[in-house]
Chains A and B, each alone.
Chain A
Amino acid sequence: MTSTQHTAPSTTSPAGNPIGFGRMLRKEDARFLRGQGHYLDDLVVPGMLHAAILRSPVAHARIVSIDTSQAEAHPKVRAVITGATLESLNLAWMPTLSADVQAVLATDKVRFQGQEVAMVVAEDKYSARDALELIDVEYDDLPPVVDARKALDPDAPVIRDDVEGRTDNHIFDWEAGDKARADEVFAAADVVVTQEMLYPRVHPAPMETCGTIASMDRVTGRLTVWSTNQAPHAHRTIYALVAGIPEHNIQIISPDIGGGFGNKVGIYPGYVLAVVGSILTGKPVKWVEDRGENLMSTSFARDYHMKGEIAATRDGRILGVRVDVLADHGAFNGTAQPTKFPAGFFHIFTGSYDLEAAYCKVTGVYTNKAPGGVAYACSFRITEAVYLVERMVDLLADELGVDPAELRLKNLLRPEQFPYVSKTGWEYDSGDYPRALKKAMEIAGYDELRREQREKRERGELMGIGISFFTEGVGAGPRKHMDILGLGMADGCELRLHPTGKAQLRLSVQTQGQGHETTFAQIVSHELGIPPEDIDVIHGDTSNTPFGLGTYGSRSTPVSGAAAAVAAQLVRDKARVITAAALECSPDDLEWEQGRWYVKGDPSQGKTIAEVSMLAHGTLELPEGVEGHLDASVVYDPPNLTYPFGAYICVVDVDPGTGQVTVRRFIAVDDCGPRVNPMIVEGQVHGGLADGVGMALMQVIAFDEDGNCVGGSFMDYLLPTSMECPSWETGETVTPSPHHPLGLKGIGESATVGSPPAVVNAVIDALEPYGVRHADMPLTPANVWMAMQGRPMRTDLAVQ
Chain B
Amino acid sequence: MQTPAPVDYARATSVEHALELLERLGPESRLIAGGHSLLPMMRIRLAQPECVIDINDLTDLDYVRVEGGELCIGAMTRHAGVLDSPVVGEHYTIFHDAERLIADPPVRNRGTVGGSFCQADPAEDLAAVGSAVKASVVLRSSQGTRTVPAREFHAGPYETVLGDAEMLTELRVPIRPGATSAYTKVKRKSGDWATAAAGAYVVLRDGVVADVGIGLTALGAPHFCAEEAEAYLVGKEPTEEHLAETGRLAAQACNPRADQRGPVEYKLHLAGELTQRVLRQSVARAEGRA
A716: Cβ under 8 A from any B Cβ: yes
Q: How near does chain A come to B41, taking the closest CB pair, in angstroms?
A: 12
Chain A, residues 716-740, CB within 8 Å of chain B (1/0): the string is 1011111110000000000000000
Considering only CB atoms, which chain A residue lies closest to B259 in the complex? A799
A69: Cβ under 8 A from any B Cβ: no
Considering only CB atoms, which chain A residue lies closest to B5 in the complex? A130
A702: Cβ under 8 A from any B Cβ: yes
Size range of the chain B interface in the assembly:
20 to 34
Tell me the complex Cα distance, A292–B40, Å.
13
- Of the candidates A659, A780, A800, which one forms a contact with B258 in the assembled complex, judged by CB atoms under 8 Å apart? A800
A23: Cβ under 8 A from any B Cβ: no
Residues from chain B with Cβ under 8 Å of A589 in the complex: none
A376: Cβ under 8 A from any B Cβ: no
A660: Cβ under 8 A from any B Cβ: yes
A710: Cβ under 8 A from any B Cβ: yes
Residues from chain A with Cβ under 8 Å of B277 in the complex: 657
Considering only CB atoms, which chain B residue lies closest to A658 in the complex? B186
Considering only CB atoms, which chain B residue lies closest to A721 in the complex? B190
A279: Cβ under 8 A from any B Cβ: no
Choose among A126, A292, A658, A723 the residue with the greatest number of B CB atoms under 10 Å from its CB: A658
Q: Is the CB of A721 within 8 A of B191?
A: yes
Tell me the complex Cα distance, A710–B273, Å.
28
Residues from chain A with Cβ under 8 Å of B262 in the complex: 780-782, 785-786, 799
Q: Is the CB of A291 within 8 A of B1?
A: yes
Q: Is the CB of B260 within 8 A of A290?
A: no
Residues from chain B with Cβ under 8 Å of A786 in the complex: 262-263, 265-266
Tell me the complex Cα distance, A800–B6, Å.
37
Chain A stretch 774-788: residues in CB contact (< 8 A) with chain B: 780-782, 785-786
B269: Cβ under 8 A from any A Cβ: yes
Chain B, residues 44-58, CB within 8 Å of chain A (1/0): the string is 010000000000000
Residues from chain B with Cβ under 8 Å of A722 in the complex: 190
Considering only CB atoms, which chain B residue lies closest to A657 in the complex? B273
A152: Cβ under 8 A from any B Cβ: no
A583: Cβ under 8 A from any B Cβ: no
Q: What secondary structure prevails in chain B residues at the interface with A?
A: loop
Q: Is the CB of B3 within 8 A of A126?
A: yes
Count of CB-CB pairs between chains A and B under 8 Å: 73
Considering only CB atoms, which chain A residue lies closest to B257 in the complex? A799
Considering only CB atoms, which chain A residue lies closest to B274 in the complex? A658
Residues from chain A with Cβ under 8 Å of B266 in the complex: 659, 781-782, 785-786
- Of the candidates A715, A724, A799, which one forms a contact with B190 in the assembled complex, judged by CB atoms under 8 Å apart? A724
Q: Is the CB of A724 within 8 A of B189?
A: yes
- Of the candidates B186, B258, B260, which one forms a contact with A716 in the assembled complex, judged by CB atoms under 8 Å apart? B260
Q: How near does chain B come to A172, taking the closest CB pair, in angstroms?
A: 31
Q: How near does chain A come to B260, taking the closest CB pair, in angstroms?
A: 6
Residues from chain B with Cβ under 8 Å of A170 in the complex: none
Q: Is the CB of A800 within 8 A of B189?
A: no
B195: Cβ under 8 A from any A Cβ: yes
Q: Is the CB of B260 within 8 A of A799?
A: yes
Residues from chain B with Cβ under 8 Å of A291 in the complex: 1
Q: Is the CB of A290 within 8 A of B1?
A: yes
Tell me the complex Cα distance, A798–B258, Å.
10
Tell me the complex Cα distance, A376–B258, Å.
30
Tell me the complex Cα distance, A282–B2, Å.
26
Tell me the complex Cα distance, A719–B195, Å.
16
Q: Is the CB of B258 within 8 A of A799?
A: yes
Tell me the complex Cα distance, A129–B259, Å.
30
Choose among B191, B259, B260, B269 the residue with the greatest number of A CB atoms under 10 Å from its CB: B260
B88: Cβ under 8 A from any A Cβ: no
Considering only CB atoms, which chain A residue lies closest to B43 in the complex? A290
Q: Is the CB of A720 within 8 A of B260?
A: no
B205: Cβ under 8 A from any A Cβ: no
Residues from chain A with Cβ under 8 Å of B192 in the complex: 715, 718
Residues from chain A with Cβ under 8 Å of B259 in the complex: 799
Tell me the complex Cα distance, A720–B5, Å.
32
Q: Is the CB of A723 within 8 A of B263?
A: no
Residues from chain B with Cβ under 8 Å of A130 in the complex: 5-6
Tell me the complex Cα distance, A697–B259, Å.
16
Q: Is the CB of A710 within 8 A of B189?
A: no
Interface residues contributed by chain A, number (CB under 8 Å)? 34
- Of the candidates A129, A133, A718, A785, which one forms a contact with B188 in the assembled complex, judged by CB atoms under 8 Å apart? A718
Q: Is the CB of B260 within 8 A of A798?
A: yes
- Of the candidates A657, A698, A800, which one forms a contact with B263 in the assembled complex, judged by CB atoms under 8 Å apart? A800
A125: Cβ under 8 A from any B Cβ: yes
Chain B stretch 186-239: residues in CB contact (< 8 A) with chain A: 186, 188-193, 195
Q: How near does chain B come to A497, taking the closest CB pair, in angstroms?
A: 45
A463: Cβ under 8 A from any B Cβ: no
Residues from chain A with Cβ under 8 Å of B260 in the complex: 702, 710, 716, 798-799
Q: Is the CB of B189 within 8 A of A723?
A: yes
Residues from chain B with Cβ under 8 Å of A724 in the complex: 189-190
Given A723-B189, A724-B189, check contact A781 B195 (CB 8 Å): yes
Choose among B6, B193, B265 the residue with the greatest number of A CB atoms under 10 Å from its CB: B265
Q: How near does chain A come to B57, taking the closest CB pair, in angstroms?
A: 26
Tell me the complex Cα distance, A292–B1, Å.
9
Q: Is the CB of A658 within 8 A of B190?
A: no
Considering only CB atoms, which chain B residue lies closest to A694 in the complex? B189
Q: Is the CB of A780 within 8 A of B188?
A: yes
Q: How near does chain A come to B86, taking the closest CB pair, in angstroms?
A: 25
B73: Cβ under 8 A from any A Cβ: no
Q: Is the CB of A660 within 8 A of B186?
A: yes
B270: Cβ under 8 A from any A Cβ: yes
Q: How near does chain A come to B109, taking the closest CB pair, in angstroms?
A: 17
B261: Cβ under 8 A from any A Cβ: yes
A159: Cβ under 8 A from any B Cβ: no
Tell me the complex Cα distance, A644–B133, Å.
57
Residues from chain B with Cβ under 8 Å of A578 in the complex: none
Choose among A129, A720, A724 the residue with the greatest number of B CB atoms under 10 Å from its CB: A129
Tell me the complex Cα distance, A782–B104, Å.
22
Tell me the complex Cα distance, A798–B1, Å.
26
Given A799-B259, A800-B263, check contact A721 B3 (CB 8 Å): no
A202: Cβ under 8 A from any B Cβ: no
Residues from chain B with Cβ under 8 Å of A780 in the complex: 188, 261-262
Considering only CB atoms, which chain B residue lies closest to A781 in the complex? B186
Choose among A290, A715, A780, A786 the residue with the greatest number of B CB atoms under 10 Å from its CB: A780
Considering only CB atoms, which chain A residue lies closest to B270 in the complex? A658
Q: Is the CB of B263 within 8 A of A290?
A: no
Tell me the complex Cα distance, A781–B263, Å.
11
Chain A, residues 762-800, CB within 8 Å of chain B (1/0): the string is 000000000000000000111001100000010000111
Residues from chain A with Cβ under 8 Å of B45 in the complex: 133
Tell me the complex Cα distance, A793–B263, Å.
9
- Of the candidates A129, A718, A719, which one forms a contact with B3 in the assembled complex, judged by CB atoms under 8 Å apart? A129
Q: How near does chain A come to B135, taking the closest CB pair, in angstroms?
A: 27
Considering only CB atoms, which chain B residue lies closest to A714 in the complex? B191
Tell me the complex Cα distance, A799–B261, Å.
8
Tell me the complex Cα distance, A799–B5, Å.
33
Tell me the complex Cα distance, A760–B258, Å.
24
Considering only CB atoms, which chain B residue lies closest to A132 in the complex? B45
Residues from chain B with Cβ under 8 Å of A702 in the complex: 260
Chain A, residues 642-666, CB within 8 Å of chain B (1/0): the string is 0000000000000001111000000
Chain B, residues 243-276, CB within 8 Å of chain A (1/0): the string is 0000000000000001111110110011001100
Given A720-B189, A799-B263, check contact A785 B2 (CB 8 Å): no
**10 A–B contacts, CB within 8 A, in A order:** A133-B5, A657-B273, A698-B188, A719-B189, A721-B189, A724-B189, A724-B190, A780-B188, A799-B258, A799-B263
Beyond known contacts A130-B5, A781-B186: 20 more, CB 8 A cutoff: A133-B5, A133-B45, A657-B277, A658-B186, A658-B270, A658-B274, A698-B188, A721-B104, A721-B191, A723-B190, A724-B189, A724-B190, A780-B262, A781-B195, A781-B266, A785-B266, A785-B269, A798-B260, A799-B262, A800-B263
Leading 7 A-B pairs by shortest Cβ distance: A782-B262, A723-B190, A721-B190, A782-B266, A657-B273, A658-B186, A126-B3
Chain A residues close to B by CB (< 8 Å)? 125-126, 129-130, 133, 290-292, 657-660, 697-698, 702, 710, 715-716, 718-724, 780-782, 785-786, 793, 798-800
